[in-house]
A and B are shown apart, each in its own frame.
Chain A
Amino acid sequence: MATYQEFIQQNEDRDGVRFSWNLWPSSRLEATRLVVPVSCLFTPLKERPDLPPVQYEPVLCSRANCKAVLNPLCQVDFRAKIWACNFCFQRNPFPPSYAGISDVNQPAELMPPFSTIEYIVQRGPPTPLIFLYVVDTCLEEEDLQALRESLQMSLSLLPADALVGLITFGRMVQVHELSCEGIAKSYVFRGTKELSSKQIQEMLGLMKPAASSQQGRPVAPHDAAASSCKFLQPVHRVDMNLTDLLGELQRDPWPVPQGKRPLRSTGIALSIAVGLLEGTFPNTGARVMLFTGGPPTQGPGMVVGDELKTPIRSWHDIQKDNARHLKKATKYYEALANRAAVNGHCMDIYACALDQMGLLEMKCCANLTGGHVVMGDSFNTSLFKQTFQRVFSKDYNGEFRMAFGGTLEVKTSRELKVSGAIGPCVSLNAKGPCVSENEMGIGGTTQWKICGLNPSSTLAMFFEVVNQHNAPIPQGGRGAVQFVTQYQHSNTQKRIRVTTIARNWADAQSQIQHIETSFDQEASAVLMARLGVFRAESEEGPDVLRWLDRQLIRLCQKFGQFNKDDSTSFKLSESLSLYPQFMFHLRRSPFLQVFNNSPDESSYYRHHFVRQDLTQSLIMIQPILYSYSFHGPPEPVLLDSSSILPDRILLMDTFFQLVIYHGETIAQWRKARYQEMAEYENFKQLLQAPLDDAQEILQTRFPMPRYVDTEHGGSQARFLLSKVNPSQTHNNAYGWGQESGAPILTDDVSLQVFMDHLKKLAVSSAA
């Protein structure tokens, strides 16, 4: 029998699912007592090179409100050619095409290894991918030049038949017509006036109301598509044209008086982009890519006025309710994002500015539609350039790692209901029997829309056990969950991926030990963190922390072994041992702490946190620290100040930053240029080792992390120092003198102190 570790790993590899509990408590009461809800991290498009898609339609349960997909868990009567739905127990005949089914001739979906299976289905004409560039022209010339080049470069990365469009904005918004020869045409909108989608379409000439009403027939989609051609053209056709157009892209010509910010109509630009796609390609995969160099300063969605003397809002302002435009702008972008989401269009934000650019307000554009957010200092940095390139990276099949217009539907067996999801999705408001009244995250539905998907997009799904306390453990002893993800593949195919998983029920009273061992502390930490981050969006930071602390204490009380009121006696089993440490780092993380972060940065971090898969999420919670020395091969070390030693090189990966830190001695050596001397080849190699490792991480990471190469005493060392557990501070460094390490100048509590308190509280009878 495999260990839970292996089981979990196997499950993740196969299905992209990690549950917090791998044995489910059989009653609602017990489930709530477990503190960490029954929940999972689900990566719908997890790359499965070994899983070839099948080219037929899935077989659905015939019950109208079930429609579950035939899966390996179903009971099949091969003789009668009947299968029983494992969710609603409806007995369904197989469709005629399954006539040849038998014990030895089973379709793939009935074989256990295919608990995750992908169908390619024919639904309507294939629609090309659509990329709509929305480009800010209020940039410094240098930035604009870099952006121009990146954009021109990207044209070569796009699929040849993809449709591409260009909107530029500054004080005005220009929608460029790409089909015309000769004169470059563009439609111009003023940046201050909000227009309805209908108006936008009218103004772009996308509607032919007169013609259609006269002839008394609705506009055929083809007409709409044809007329939209002005703005969205196949890359191969307008390649040259667009390259020239981008080449001629000028900085916004309107003068910017001294003491003013340039007028930037980001809000209108986005609304026009959304309106344009809405009118031409509803329910078709499309990507709106916003490239902006600063905050929106006019019109709806304005984040800050154009007076430079008024700084952009800070957390301080927000807490004091002093951010004038915050609510209005947020609401505006939210509405936009929802519109885009409804039509299956996703919105990316590529923001390169030294100051904030309003990501806090605009975040939902990306969050709700599954778009990317990339934040950098300038378009003229490798961080942006490479990240942007990576958007168009391809998988082992040479296909883009992106999918569009996804719909995720969750079906559960009767004892389980869906509480909600947290991730880059919006609710489709599909009510059903398995919708829980108890909402966690985005709930009240069994279906979510994920407009932009990539192989690492991961949602947290929360469930509620509804079986009553006194009810028996359900028949068969297993609960099942089915995830049905329909999406448009980057090669324009429509696909459906179905993942069906099952877990055993356990009686929490009698089998608490088993349940405890089935605990996936990594997944749980991430799931709790997502809940925390989700709460942090709407609640005050301290409240969230208190909630997290309480959950942690309750969990410790539930599963810890201790004598009452004796904190020294407290022990946690192996399956929970790391969990408090994750919580400790989570509390200090920028996802929950806003100190020292701008609102934009917080939004940026949170955005990525709620969409990355488990591994990346864990890195974000608790960065990884490797140590390089002459004493042996590189080794992971504790994220602790004690790991900072003079003769070590440290490599820290926080997901967002990659820090290489040279210890004091190493730094001195390096300064003395020993690495250039032949006899110190080994030193050279030592120096090179972390660089190579970092490079490896950089290769795959999206977005590109900030790369920091620093040394003892360097100003950039703060990235490292702020992350490590401050076990040695200016308060205790000398007291704890025996160990070498670097004292951290902070008043934050260290993990040791945190644990002490936790134990104390856990064992306290008062709690």
Chain B
Amino acid sequence: MNVNQQTPMASPYGQPQPGYGQPSYAPLGGGYPAPYAPYNGPASAYQHGAPPQGPARAPPTSAPPAVSSSQGYSQYSQGDIQNGPPPVAQPMQRPAVSQPYTPGAMNLSGPHPSYPQQYAVPPSMQQVTNQMTGMQIGPGPPPTPAGPGYAPPLTSQPPISAAYSVAAPPSYTQGPPPVSADPPQPPPHSEAGGPQPYYGGPPPPQQTFPPSFSSAGPPSQAPGQQQSFPSGPPPVPQSTYTGPPPPTAQTSFPPPPSSQASSFPPTAPPSTAPPAQYPGPMPPPGPPSQPPFQSGPPPQSQLPPTSMAQANHLPPGPPGAMQQPPPQSGMQGGYPPQQNGAFGQVRGPQPGYAGQYPGQPSYGGPAPAPAPAAPSQKRLDPDSIPSPIQVIEDDKAKTSEPFTTGVRGQAPPLVTTNFQVKDQGNASPRFVRCTAYNMPCTADMARQSQVPMAAVIKPLATLPPDETPPYIVDHGEGGPIRCNRCKAYMCPYMQFIEGGRRFQCGFCSCVTDVPPHYFQHLDHTGKRVDCYDRPELSAGSYEFLATVDYCKNNKLPQPPAYIFLIDVSYNAVKSGMVNIVCQELKTLLDYLPRENPDTDSVVRVGFITYNKVLHFYNVKSSLAQPQMLVVSDVSDMFLPLLDGFLVNVSESRVVIESLLEQIPEMFADTRETETVFGPVIQAGLEALKAADCAGKLFVFHTSLPIAEAPGKLKNREDKKLVGTDKEKSLFQPQVGFYGSLAKECVAQGCCVDLFLFPNQYVDVATLGVVPVSTGGSIYKYTYFQAQADCERFLNDLRRDVQKPMGFDAVMRVRTSTGIRATDFFGSFYMSNTTDVELAGLDCDKTVTVEFRHDDKLSEETGALMQCAVLYTSCSGQRRLRVHNMAVNCCFQLADLYRNCETDTIINYFSKYAYRSVLTTPTKTVRDTLVNQCAQILSCYRKNCASPSSAGQLILPECMKLLPVYLNCVLKSDMLLPGGDVSLDDRAYLRQLLSCMDVAESHLFFYPRLLPLVKLEGDSLPVAVRNSEERLSKGGVYLLETGLHLFLWVGANAQQELLLNIFGTPTFSQIDPNMTSLPILDNPFSQRLTEIVESFRAQRSRYMKLMVVKQEDKAELIFKHFLVEDKSGSGGASYVDFLCHMHKEIRQLLS
């Protein structure tokens, strides 16, 4: 990915690169180069985005490169993906260049990287030639060696890197081009383009003949292409793959490279005019391509078809490379070089590809057209396409310093990376993440690029212990100082003028007098001398104490209250839920949120149980026994008692315990199966109203509320509607009652958390309306069984009760003139277009805000945004939390593409899509997503990438994972349900996603798959990609999705491993129903437990552990999360989708 990101570098390279590895890049490599670009970026300070990478990577390059390179290489070898990484390394150096290049580079980038690589590896020529290789090379080796020199090219590369998009094939082709490129670097560029095109390459075929893809794909299509593509990439990541075929491949490749290289070179030339090439080649490639590929193997074919072939074939090539890489992989560090070399060679091979192909044939299996070879070639080697793992690891590697927020427009490390943040004027990425840290200055640009401008804001995020929570600022009785016009709060962007007597608002430029009590002199730079003493002048995030003017009814708020509403119908009792809740509450009530850990919480509690009627409890401390008040008049809910319902835990402890003891007994013999739901929430709401406070309801509910009462529901689950235009109605609430109830709840500051224990359809879509609108959460435990699910439920409950939260909150996002917040996603209610009202806001809730231009922004001042959240703390204090964020603005699209964050974009896209299903048929939603993505990438290709073959897929470095992630979104249960996914599950996921932050959504869509081989030291094993291919029968893997944990045990897992984990040496003795691992006295088991616990600790919801034995029934569920594979519900594999995306892009371009 990095590589891709580096694309920019590529661009730079692109120019220069053309000659360079472009070819090589062209293949996937192109993408990689991009990564480099980033590096360059860093170095040159390209685009911020890039720079970071640059630096980080740069250093790593050597080391990381190794990795990356290895991967990269592997990638290279395999696919462009790797290239991505490598480029990174290189980019470092090239940054400066990259920038220049960037424009063209974008495309070029892809190739560029290769350049670097090539450079890196002089042989690169060859390597380069193999764009693929180049790619790989670029990443790994190039960085170090070539890096510097190439750096410039790299720069260009970065952007290009993205190129991956192109079908792997291109890469292959590119691969070849690179070779040629090497010589005629320029060409390579083209090739580079090619490389990117690689995929594109395939695309060409596709284009020409969709078949081509198909060809690629067809053969093994999914597999084929993927493989082929991946093959390309795989090498890199798979370097690991090394193990597998690589060797051979490599060997084969190597040879091909040369040839390819040569061939590529030709292509390379095209690179200069990549498009042309593509076009030209592309078409021809299609048919020929395959042949080329096949022929590819035979260098000739490659040459001729070069562009085409390359494009198409390239991919294959990469695969070959990939294979090769694997072996290399072993030697990551080495790989790069080797790869470079090898790849280069390999690339060279591109011609070699041909050869590779041959080799690949194995892969090729897929290659339809190209007889045996072709198939193999066509199959995209998965290793050759951008690898999320690679990108993640690269980012980790380059992040060593704390991230300081002082620099405007600087993109933070990825969410998967552990890093420390120092607040120096902008909000920490833990609070705010943006899709782009360099926004387009004009609406036109924004429209053209289609890159969403959004920020993902988690206002009350919990910070790690080593970071300081926001300071609290008290501006006295007058309240926080604000701009007179736009009402923005005092922040570092306020410019003090006239000696400090007035200040100019950074948002609206209005000048406001400084109140006397706030006056302070300015120093010679125009800063207030107390600037660093005041958080509001020096920090990105801080809190103001709000005055009574900021309170409802101008009255200071009461401390909030928590009300527990427990379903005691037959199902609830029978499943053990009632008992568990009551037992747990006895202790849990001691952990209600408080601000000062030494004092008792001021949160009051109340209890209600219900089935068809409601039971309120009077737990006044003066009573000897609790009193139960039954309200059967559910049609018109009211609070039957005032005094004694909400009590202080410490005062009424005895009575409460007695109550909790008795509730399960009282209902032990209940035969009531019907429940109500609307009145339950109304009851809680009435209680809060009566107490005149905000608060939270914890509703423990089991079934569809069919009893006669407001909000009564009927079972409308109709699977026949799924997939039709009417499907959307199933996600809309079936009655309007809950909507208006939610509105009332919000007005009172009544947040509702819903714990569901359904045994059948409960209509989550409708029941969830209130929780979702009030900032609450939904937890769902289908077929709850006390024994199996108790732990998960209790942990969720504990966390939910204890977590810090704010109540009765209003959030407002202010921005500089020129843009404005236009759309909001999350769990909240909006009564107008600007204020986000949250009855409750906890530390896990995230709001995604979309911005639109309403005027021009200026490069000079950048774009500012200030998110202010007014809320009542758990101690009843009214506060204002302010997060400030400044990003750069640009007139160059390349700058935009260089500073995007794919994870955040995906977060935005997914939320957008998940919301759209309410109003639009699911298919349309999917198409829209694909379209927008294609537009983003094609815009890049058109405007930023260096010219290259149209068959080349060129991805921006920062976005090279966009396709894979997007595919994950598209095939998620919400948008593409499998047969076994219930409507409730989908509605649940829909609501779950709506308030996820970037880290969660990332994991949600691309789960983390860890091989449990050696668990030594504190570091985690490097994750592997989510594909079945990556699983070794002899291994044990841990898969984390954010909602589930799976422990997959291979059928041939080593006895020692099994002994260590399960305490039994035989596979068959493992109990697939176990929910927790045995605690064994061996370091491995202990470490594994630690890891599992640490994973759970990181997530807002407890993840239940499922042990999945290979070839067990449960494996189907597990496989569902192997998101790079074709899904059971018809979702495309990564490779297939990449090809498809490439096709779309090409269509847009033509």
Instruction: Say whether B623 faces chain A, with CB atoms less than 8 Å apart.
Output: yes
Instruction: Say whether A324 faces chain B, with CB atoms less than 8 Å apart.
Output: no
Decide if A174 touches B643 in the complex (CB within 8 Å).
Answer: no
Q: Give the residue name and chain of the B residue nearest to A184 (CB).
A: B627
Instruction: Say whether A193 faces chain B, with CB atoms less than 8 Å apart.
Output: yes
Residues of B within 8 A of A177 (CB): 630
Residues of A within 8 A of B630 (CB): 177, 185-188
Instruction: Say whether B1147 faces chain A, with CB atoms less than 8 Å apart.
Output: no
Interface size on B, residues (CB 8 A): 25
Instruction: Say whether A253 faces chain B, with CB atoms less than 8 Å apart.
Output: yes
Partner of A172, one of B613, B627, B641: B641
Of A40-48, A65-73, A197-205, A613-621, the segment with at least 4 beta carbons within 8 Å of chain B is A197-205
CA distance A670 to B388 in the complex (A): 111
Take A188-B616, A195-B633, A205-B632 as given contacts and tell me if A183 and B625 are in contact as well, using a CB distance cutoff of 8 Å.
Answer: yes
Residues of A within 8 A of B662 (CB): 182-183
Decide if B636 touches A190 in the complex (CB within 8 Å).
Answer: yes
Take A172-B638, A172-B641, A253-B644 as given contacts and tell me if A186 and B633 are in contact as well, using a CB distance cutoff of 8 Å.
Answer: no
Q: A172-B640, A183-B659, A186-B628 are in contact. List 15 more A-B contacts (CB 8 A).
A: A172-B638, A174-B629, A177-B630, A183-B617, A183-B662, A184-B626, A184-B628, A185-B627, A185-B629, A188-B630, A189-B632, A199-B633, A248-B623, A250-B643, A255-B642
Q: Give the residue name and chain of the A residue nearest to B629 (CB).
A: A188
CA distance A255 to B690 in the complex (A): 11
- In the complex, how many angstroms separate the beta carbon of B966 from the nearest chain A beta carbon? 52
Residues of B within 8 A of A174 (CB): 629, 640
CA distance A202 to B612 in the complex (A): 11
Partner of B642, one of A184, A203, A253: A253
Decide if A189 touches B626 in the complex (CB within 8 Å).
Answer: no
Instruction: Say whether A56 faces chain B, with CB atoms less than 8 Å apart.
Output: no
A-B contact pairs, 9 of them (CB 8 A): A174-B640, A183-B662, A185-B628, A190-B633, A190-B640, A195-B633, A199-B633, A253-B642, A253-B643
- In the complex, how many angstroms separate the beta carbon of B545 from the nearest chain A beta carbon? 31
Closest 9 CB pairs of A and B: A203-B632, A188-B640, A253-B643, A187-B630, A185-B628, A190-B638, A184-B627, A188-B629, A253-B642
- In the complex, how many angstroms separate the beta carbon of A169 from the nearest chain B beta carbon? 11
CA distance A188 to B629 in the complex (A): 6
Decide if B627 touches A188 in the complex (CB within 8 Å).
Answer: no
- In the complex, how many angstroms separate the beta carbon of B667 from the nearest chain A beta carbon? 11
Q: B1103-1134 CB contact bits vs A (8 Å, 1 = yes)?
A: 00000000000000000000000000000000
- Which residues in window 568-610 of A have CB below 8 A to B? none
Instruction: Say whether B668 faces chain A, with CB atoms less than 8 Å apart.
Output: no
Residues of A within 8 A of B625 (CB): 182-184
Residues of B within 8 A of A199 (CB): 633
CA distance A183 to B642 in the complex (A): 18
Residues of B within 8 A of A195 (CB): 633
- In the complex, how many angstroms separate the beta carbon of A372 from the nearest chain B beta carbon? 30
CA distance A248 to B626 in the complex (A): 12
- Which residues in window 159-190 of A have CB below 8 A to B? 172, 174, 177, 182-190
- In the complex, how many angstroms separate the beta carbon of A295 from the nearest chain B beta carbon? 22
Decide if B632 touches A202 in the complex (CB within 8 Å).
Answer: yes
Residues of B within 8 A of A250 (CB): 643
Decide if B633 touches A189 in the complex (CB within 8 Å).
Answer: yes
Decide if A187 touches B642 in the complex (CB within 8 Å).
Answer: no
CA distance A174 to B639 in the complex (A): 12
Decide if B642 touches A186 in the complex (CB within 8 Å).
Answer: no
CA distance A199 to B632 in the complex (A): 9
CA distance A188 to B645 in the complex (A): 14
Take A189-B633, A190-B636 as given contacts and tell me if A254 and B642 are in contact as well, using a CB distance cutoff of 8 Å.
Answer: yes
- In the complex, how many angstroms separate the beta carbon of A248 from the nearest chain B beta carbon? 7
Residues of A within 8 A of B628 (CB): 183-186
Take A183-B659, A184-B625 as given contacts and tell me if A204 and B632 are in contact as well, using a CB distance cutoff of 8 Å.
Answer: yes
CA distance A195 to B665 in the complex (A): 31
Residues of A within 8 A of B627 (CB): 183-186
Q: Which among B627, B644, B659 has the highest number of chain A CB atoms within 10 Å?
A: B627
Q: B650-668 CB contact bits vs A (8 Å, 1 = yes)?
A: 0000000001001001100
CA distance A205 to B670 in the complex (A): 13
- In the complex, how many angstroms separate the beta carbon of B692 from the nearest chain A beta carbon? 11
Instruction: Say whether B580 faces chain A, with CB atoms less than 8 Å apart.
Output: no
Decide if A188 touches B641 in the complex (CB within 8 Å).
Answer: yes
Instruction: Say whether B1053 faces chain A, with CB atoms less than 8 Å apart.
Output: no
- In the complex, how many angstroms separate the beta carbon of A624 from the nearest chain B beta carbon? 51
Residues of B within 8 A of A254 (CB): 642
Residues of A within 8 A of B631 (CB): 187-189
Partner of A253, one of B616, B617, B641: B641
Q: Give the residue name and chain of the B residue nearest to A175 (CB).
A: B630
Q: A307-329 CB contact bits vs B (8 Å, 1 = yes)?
A: 00000000000000000000000
- In the complex, how many angstroms separate the beta carbon of B568 from the nearest chain A beta carbon? 13
CA distance A195 to B633 in the complex (A): 9
Residues of B within 8 A of A190 (CB): 633, 636, 638, 640
Q: Give the residue name and chain of the A residue nearest to B674 (CB).
A: A210
Q: Give the residue name and chain of the B residue nearest to A188 (CB).
A: B640
Q: A690-718 CB contact bits vs B (8 Å, 1 = yes)?
A: 00000000000000000000000000000
Decide if A183 touches B626 in the complex (CB within 8 Å).
Answer: yes
CA distance A380 to B632 in the complex (A): 35
CA distance A174 to B630 in the complex (A): 9
Q: Give the residue name and chain of the B residue nearest to A203 (CB).
A: B632
Q: Give the residue name and chain of the A residue nearest to B659 (CB).
A: A183
CA distance A189 to B640 in the complex (A): 7
CA distance A185 to B627 in the complex (A): 6
Residues of A within 8 A of B626 (CB): 183-184
CA distance A255 to B643 in the complex (A): 10
- In the complex, how many angstroms separate the beta carbon of B946 from the nearest chain A beta carbon? 75
CA distance A146 to B638 in the complex (A): 30
CA distance A190 to B633 in the complex (A): 8
- Which residues in window 188-229 of A have CB below 8 A to B? 188-190, 193, 195, 199, 202-205
Residues of B within 8 A of A248 (CB): 623
Decide if A203 touches B644 in the complex (CB within 8 Å).
Answer: no
CA distance A206 to B1111 in the complex (A): 56
Residues of B within 8 A of A204 (CB): 632
CA distance A682 to B659 in the complex (A): 69
CA distance A205 to B626 in the complex (A): 22
Q: A364-385 CB contact bits vs B (8 Å, 1 = yes)?
A: 0000000000000000000000
CA distance A566 to B631 in the complex (A): 76
Residues of A within 8 A of B613 (CB): 203, 205
Residues of A within 8 A of B615 (CB): 185
Q: Give the residue name and chain of the A residue nearest to B644 (CB).
A: A253
CA distance A193 to B638 in the complex (A): 11
Residues of B within 8 A of A193 (CB): 633, 636
Decide if B666 touches A183 in the complex (CB within 8 Å).
Answer: yes
CA distance A193 to B631 in the complex (A): 13
Residues of A within 8 A of B638 (CB): 172, 190
CA distance A186 to B641 in the complex (A): 11
Q: Give the residue name and chain of the A residue nearest to B627 (CB).
A: A184
- Which residues in window 595-630 of B have CB below 8 A to A? 613, 615-617, 623, 625-630
Residues of B within 8 A of A186 (CB): 627-630
Residues of A within 8 A of B665 (CB): 182
Q: Give the residue name and chain of the B residue nearest to A253 (CB).
A: B643
CA distance A174 to B627 in the complex (A): 12
Q: Give the residue name and chain of the B residue nearest to A189 (CB).
A: B633
- In the complex, how many angstroms separate the beta carbon of A475 from the nearest chain B beta carbon? 64
Residues of B within 8 A of A203 (CB): 613, 632-633
CA distance A437 to B438 in the complex (A): 100
CA distance A663 to B871 in the complex (A): 78
Residues of B within 8 A of A182 (CB): 625, 662, 665-666
Q: Give the residue name and chain of the A residue nearest to B661 (CB).
A: A182
Residues of B within 8 A of A253 (CB): 641-644
- Which residues in window 351-406 of B have CB below 8 A to A? none
CA distance A248 to B627 in the complex (A): 11
CA distance A189 to B665 in the complex (A): 25
Q: Give the residue name and chain of the B residue nearest to A182 (CB).
A: B662
